[in-house]
């Protein structure tokens, strides 16, 4: 029941979607209204070796995608990279329109895009971290999808791949811009998450059992907040200018300073209390972040 189905190629994706053979072995532009979501039970849980870029809009209610319910009255984009595991559920009564662009990494291998595509964090976001589009943004994305579709359906010549890759490149630049806008416009939500991060770290660092759990990790925060590690890092970068690991280190140093200034615990005891396996590792991090050793910091209070 928990078997993960793997889609290895564009042709295999077409078979799963109940579609005829693709016109190109490495890329396809699919209209959602042509997809047969009931053709296979693989929708319960699956992964693929492809990049997918989807813009979806529904006409009759909500759809459960990943772990969240989405209102499909608005345009929603989801993007996934190779080897991600995800699922789509509760789809039998939903009419979805829009486009699914899917391509194999080999399709862009000879282009500059291949070298920069991994910098786009949204390809590794969890499926409940979709991009919500304004009407204007939605139209821009749809126009680019239609341009790619038009080139895909045209007679293939030596320029076809160049044109499609150029449009994919431009589409991703727009998506990057819109995700950045979403981070800004959802600032209140992100502030709430920031408060939850602080609470999680404060609880972790004051919990006596953390000596047995080790240092707090990015994955620990992501799991407790139900977001992906990449999305968490992007969120913190926008809110604080720090990556997730840098933020954890900042909280560790703050707690260490508190213990150094207000207790008689030795430096080694503080290191182990914070979750460090070795006191040397604590000393190294503390000096790297503060330019003084823990002992020098403590002595500055005397």
The CATH number of domain 5-185, selected from 3.20.20.70, 3.80.10.10, 2.60.120.280, 3.90.1010.10: 2.60.120.280
CA triple 286-289-290, angle to 5 deg = 80
The first and second tokens of residue 280, run together, are 């040397």
- Measured in whole angstroms, the distance separating CA 150 from the mean position of its chain's CA atoms is 29
CATH 2.60.120.280 intervals, the chain: 5-185
pTM value is: 0.64
How crowded is residue 234: how many other Cβ atoms within 10 Å of its Cβ?
Answer: 21
The confidence score (pLDDT) of residue 65 equals: 45
Pairing of strands 68-71, 131-132: unpaired
pLDDT of residue 132: 87
In eight-state DSSP terms, residue 301 is T
- Where does the chain hold its CATH 1.10.10.60 domain(s)? 188-299
Model confidence band, residue 55 (pLDDT cutoffs 50, 70, 90): very high
Q: What is the pLDDT of residue 17?
A: 83
Q: What is the mean pLDDT of residues 238-265?
A: 89
pLDDT bin (cut points 50, 70, 90) of residue 88 is: low
Contact by Cβ (8 Å): 257, 293: no
Residue 14 has, within 13 A of its CA and on its CB side, a CA count of 16
Statement: residue 21 has pLDDT above 60 = yes
The CA R_g of the chain, rounded to the nearest whole Å, is 24
pLDDT of residue 209: 54
**For residues 49 and 113, is the Cβ–Cβ distance under 8 A?**
no
Maximum mean pLDDT: which of 76-85, 117-126, 144-153, 271-280: 144-153
Pairing of strands 51-58, 88-89: unpaired
Query: How would you label 4-23 residue by residue, b for 16+ Cβ within 10 Å and e otherwise?
Result: ebebebbebbbebbebeebe
Greater confidence, 235 or 101?
101
Residue 228 CA to residue 131 CA, distance in Å, equals 14
- Averaging pLDDT over each range in 16-30, 76-90, 126-140, 184-198, which range is the top one? 16-30
Give me the phi and psi of 30, to 5 degrees please. Answer: -115, 135
Pair 57, 72: CB distance under 8 Å: yes
CATH entry, 188-299, from 3.40.50.1170, 3.40.50.2300, 1.10.1200.10, 1.10.10.60 = 1.10.10.60
Tell me how far apart the alpha carbons of residues 212 and 295 are, in angstroms, rounded to a whole number. Answer: 24
> Do the Cβ atoms of 171 and 108 come closer than 8 Å?
no
């Amino acid at each position: 029941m928990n078997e993960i189905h793997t889609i290895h190629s564009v042709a295999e994706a077409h078979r799963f979607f109940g579609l005829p053979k693709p016109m190109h072995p490495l890329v396809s532009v699919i209209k959602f209204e042509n997809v047969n979501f009931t053709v296979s039970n693989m929708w319960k849980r699956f992964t693929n070796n492809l990049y997918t870029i989807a813009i979806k809009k529904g006409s009759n209610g909500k759809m459960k995608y990943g772990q969240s319910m989405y209102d499909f009255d608005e345009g929603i984009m989801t993007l996934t990279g190779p080897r991600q595991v995800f699922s789509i559920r509760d789809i039998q009564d939903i009419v979805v329109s829009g486009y699914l662009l899917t391509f194999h990494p080999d399709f862009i291998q000879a282009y500059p895009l291949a070298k920069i595509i991994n910098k786009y964090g949204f390809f590794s976001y969890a499926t409940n971290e979709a991009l919500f589009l304004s009407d204007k943004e939605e139209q821009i994305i749809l126009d680019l999808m239609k341009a790619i579709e038009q080139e895909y359906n045209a007679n293939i010549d030596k320029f076809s791949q160049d044109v499609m890759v150029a449009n994919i490149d431009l589409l991703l630049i727009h998506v990057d811009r819109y995700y950045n806008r979403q981070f800004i416009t959802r600032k209140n939500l992100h502030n709430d998450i920031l408060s939850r991060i602080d609470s999680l770290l404060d609880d972790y660092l004051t919990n006596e059992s953390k000596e047995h759990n080790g240092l707090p990790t990015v994955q620990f925060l992501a799991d407790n907040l139900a977001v992906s590690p990449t999305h968490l890092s992007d969120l913190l970068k926008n809110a604080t200018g720090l990556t997730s690991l840098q933020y954890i280190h900042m909280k560790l140093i703050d707690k260490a300073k508190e213990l150094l200034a207000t207790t008689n615990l030795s430096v080694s005891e503080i290191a182990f209390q914070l979750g460090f396996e070795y006191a040397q590792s604590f000393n190294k991090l503390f000096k790297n972040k503060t330019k003084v050793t823990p002992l020098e910091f403590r002595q500055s209070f005397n």
